[in-house]
Amino acid sequence: MNLPVTSIARALRPTAGRRRVPGPARRAGLLLAVAAAGGLVAGVVVADEPAAHAEPRLASVSVAEQLGIPAGAPADVAEVADTAAESLERLAASRSERAAEQTAAAQARAAAEQAELDRRAAEEAARIAAEEAARQAAEEAARQEAARQEAARQEAARQEAARQEAARQEGARQAAEEAARQAAARQAEAAARPSRAAAAPAAPTAPSGSYQGYAMQQLGGSGSEFGCLEKLWGKESGWNPDAQNPRSTAYGIPQFLDSTWAGTGIAKTSDGYRQIDAGLIYIENRYGSPCGAWAHSQNKGWY
């Protein structure tokens, strides 16, 4: 049965024949009654029974004692205090549970947010590490490719140098072989040809004009070759064994320079026959025939 606050207050008011409730207990009871008046249902007084006849029930309750209500306080006050304390305890427990739940929820949210931040940070770190590894791998690959290309270039240069050296050596070898062959051929021809140097001293001293006859004899009577020789030396010296070029050391019928005589094996001489022998040796070694020497002289102006 819901009772108005006045009924509760009246039930707590002292009456004649009842022992007055001490101050602290009365105050605590009133406070607890007022706090629980909105939803608290307590039958503290029997309906229609005068308050003066209500028998107090004395009880010693731990809650009442904790609230400062003495053991001799009326039973209705102690019951009200006990009920109110239980309600307050449940309310406080409910609030504590809600606070604990809210705290746990907040902690869970904070932990989830931190875990998400950690996950994102880990993903970012992994991405950065992967990019760095890829960059380093690309740089290493580029370095290796550059080293490979440089090695290939050096190898190609080495092979080209070796090829050129081999070609140079082969050319030198062939040139040496050709020079040796030509020298051997000249030596063989010289050995097979009658020694004009030995025959020269036996040549008779002929009057002027006999030099041409001697030269034709040395050519074996070949009119064509003698014709070329006559034109060549006629141009050079007029077949004069004492002819001297005023601008050089050219001397005699063949007009040899001092350096040319050494190649013939005959020393420079004023003897016209020896000059003819030396001239024919030079022409044969250099041009092969008097006509070859004459052709060169017509082309170059000298032989």
pLDDT digits (tens, 9 = 90+) for 96-110: 888 889 999 999 999
CA count, 13 A, side-chain hemisphere, 288: 6
DSSP annotation of 222: -
Whole-prediction pTM:
0.34
Q: In Å, how far are 19, 35, 43, 88 from 22, measured between CA atoms? A: 9, 20, 22, 23
DSSP annotation of 72: T
- pLDDT band at residue 85 under the 50/70/90 scheme: confident
pLDDT (average), residues 124-130: 93
Going from N- to C-terminal start, the domains of the chain cover 5-107, 209-300
- What is the sign of the dihedral through the CA atoms of 223, 225, 228 and 229? negative
Q: Which two tokens stand for residue 152?
A: 């290939």
CA distance 81 to 85: 6
Q: Which helix H or strand E contains 68, and what residues bound it?
A: none
Q: What are the pLDDT digits (tens) for 232-290?
A: 999 999 999 999 999 999 999 999 999 999 889 999 999 999 999 999 999 999 999 99
Amino acid found at 87? S
Whether the predicted pLDDT of 7 surpasses 50: no
CA distance 293 to 239: 16
- Percent residues over pLDDT 90 in the chain: 46
